[in-house]
Amino acid sequence: MDIPKLSRILLVEDSYHIRALINMTLTVLNDYQVFPFDCGESALEKADELEPQLVILDVMMPGMDGPAVMKKLKALPDYSDLPFFFLTSKVHSDDIVEFERLGISGVIAKPFEPTELASMIEALWTRYHQSRSDLYIDQFTDLQEDYLENLHSSIELLKQHLNGLSQENGYSSDQLNELRVLVHDLCGSGKSYGFSDISSSAQVLTNFLKSIETEQQETLITERDASRITALILGLITIIEKTCEDSETPERLKGSIGFTNKR
C-alpha cells in the first residue's frame, strides 16, 4: 500500500513555548506546513479554511481540552476521517486505552526530543494508514465471502433458465429480461470482487442477449438463439463453480484490490 505523503498539520497547544518549538521543528527541519493555534476555540473558527491531513492536540488545555476539540472537529465533514494525535504527558497504559476509546489514532509523549518529533509523527502516520488498510481488507474479505455465498444462488437461477430454455413451449421475452438482469449483475460485480473470469464470461452472454433484444421483437426466442444462450449459460456456470472451489484455498483475496498481496 502506498502511504500518502504528509505535508499539512493542524496543531493546537496552549503553551507558547511548546507550540513554537513544535512549529519551528516541523517547518524548518522537516518542511511541513503547520497551522498552529493556542486554543481549540481559535482552531475551530479557522477549521473550514484549512486542509490539514492530521491534527495534533494538547490534552490538558484551559477552556476546551483536547478530547473536546477533537469531538467538535470530527463533527466537521472535512475532519471526520482525519487521524488525531494527542500530545500529552499522560502515557500510562490506562490513559492510552481511554484515549483510544475516544477515537485517537496515536499519542506523542511529553517531553519529546525535538529532532525526533518528525520521525515519531511519520511513524504514527504510517501506522494509521496501515491500520486502515488492514481494516479495509478485513471488511472486503467479509463482503467477498458473502458474494461467494450468493454465487450459489446465482447458479441455481441460471439453471432455472436452462430448464426454461429446454421447454417445448419456448422461452419468453420476460424470461429473457430476467436473465439479462441476472447476468448484468454478475458482469458488473464479478471483477469488482476480484473475479474477472466471471465478469468476462457474463459480458459475452450480456452482449449476446442485447443482440437478441435489438434484432427480434417476438414473444418467443428462436431455437437457434436458445441453443446459443444455453451454451453460454453452461460456460458461465462452470466458471462460477470453479471460482467457488478456488475460493476455498487459503489465499482469499485476489484480483482487483492492488495492495492485498502484502498478506
Q: Which distant-in-sequence residues (6+ apart) come within 8 Å of 153 by Cβ? A: none
| Distance between CA atoms of residues 223 and 138, nearest Å | 47
What was the pLDDT predicted at 233? 96
| Distance between CA atoms of residues 138 and 212, nearest Å | 42
Ranges for all domains in the chain classified under CATH 1.20.120.230: 138-262
Residue 261 pLDDT class (50, 70, 90 cuts): very low
Question: Residue 109 above 80 pLDDT?
Answer: yes
What was the pLDDT predicted at 214? 47
- Which carries the bigger pLDDT value, residue 3 or residue 251? 3
Give the residue among 220, 215, 216, 182 at the shortest CA–CA distance from 201: 182
| Distance between CA atoms of residues 193 and 179, nearest Å | 21
Amino acid at residue number 242: K
Give the residue among 68, 103, 97 at the shortest CA–CA distance from 84: 103
Kindly report the number of other CB atoms within 10 A of residue 126's CB atom. Answer: 13
Ranges for all domains in the chain classified under CATH 3.40.50.2300: 8-112
Tell me if 85 sits within 8 A of 122, measured CB to CB: no
DSSP string covering 5-69: PP-EEEEE-S-HHHHHHHHHIIIIIT--EEEEESSHHHHHHHGGG---SEEEEESS-SSS-HHHH
Residue 94 pLDDT class (50, 70, 90 cuts): confident
Dihedral class, residue 167 (left if φ above 0, else alpha if ψ from -120 to 50, else beta): beta
SS3 (DSSP) at 82: coil
What was the pLDDT predicted at 1? 59
Q: Which fold has domain 138-262?
A: Four Helix Bundle (Hemerythrin (Met), subunit A) (1.20.120)
Q: Please state the length of the chain.
A: 263
CA atoms within 13 A on the CB side of 253: 17
Amino acid at residue number 115: T
Distances (CA, A) of 19 to 57, 83, 108, 172, 210: 11, 19, 14, 75, 65
Give the residue among 52, 111, 42 at the shortest CA–CA distance from 82: 52
What was the pLDDT predicted at 179? 94
Kindly report the number of other CB atoms within 10 A of residue 48's CB atom. Answer: 11
Question: Residue 13 above 50 pLDDT?
Answer: yes
Average pLDDT (51-74) is: 95
The tens digit of pLDDT for each residue in 40-50 reads 999 999 999 99
The top-level CATH class assigned to 8-112 is alpha beta
Average pLDDT (158-180) is: 88
Long-range contacts of 63-71 (CB under 8 A, 24+ apart): 63/39, 64/39, 64/40, 65/40, 66/12, 66/40, 67/102, 68/40, 69/12, 69/40, 69/43, 69/44, 70/102, 70/103, 70/104
Tell me if 53 sits within 8 A of 24, measured CB to CB: no
